[in-house]
Amino acid sequence: MEEYKVYTYTIINVPTNEFKDKAPYLMAIVTNKKGSKFMTRIEGYDEGDKIKIGDKVKYKEKDSLGNIICKL
């Protein structure tokens, strides 16, 4: 499974209506092997988990809109 590097991130506590049930959740801009960036949601985050710029995350799946979803 492809790995990506965290370029920046945030943990969302106040979500939109559509993501109400997921909060708090982790989102990031990550870099792929070729160096291009994209935005992703990273699943498997529990409140209090430490995350920092430069961490590696893994490909999990594509959502119904075609976005890449990652996991810790």
Partner 1 sequence: MRSVSVIGIGETEMGSFPERSLRDMVKEAGNKSIEDSNIEREKIQAIYVGNFNSSYLCGQSHMGPLVSEELNLGNVPTLRTENACASGSLALRQAFISVASGVYDYVLVGGLEKMNHRSTEEVTSALASASDSINEFGIGATFPSLFAMIANRYMYEYKATREMLAAVAVQNHENGFKNPHAQLKKKITIEKVINGFPVAHPFTIYDCSLVTDGAAFLVIGASDLLNKKEKERAVEIIGSGHAGDTLRLASRKDITKFPATIKAAEEAYKMAGIKAKDINFAEVHDCFTMTQIINTEDLGFFEKGDGGPAVLEGKTALDGKIPINPSGGLKSKGHPIGATGLSQVYEAVLQLRGKADDRQVKQADIGLTHNLGGTASTCLVNIFRRLK
The residues binding partner 1 (CB under 8 A) are 7-20, 22, 24-25, 27-29, 37-41, 53, 63, 65-67, 69
Q: How far apart are CA 21 and CA 1, in angstroms?
A: 28
How far apart are CB 6 and partner 1 at their closest, in Å?
A: 10
47 in Cβ contact with 24 (< 8 Å): yes
- 1 vs 47, which CB is nearer to partner 1? 47
- 34 vs 66, which CB is nearer to partner 1? 66
Nearest to 63 by CA among 31, 46, 45, 38: 38
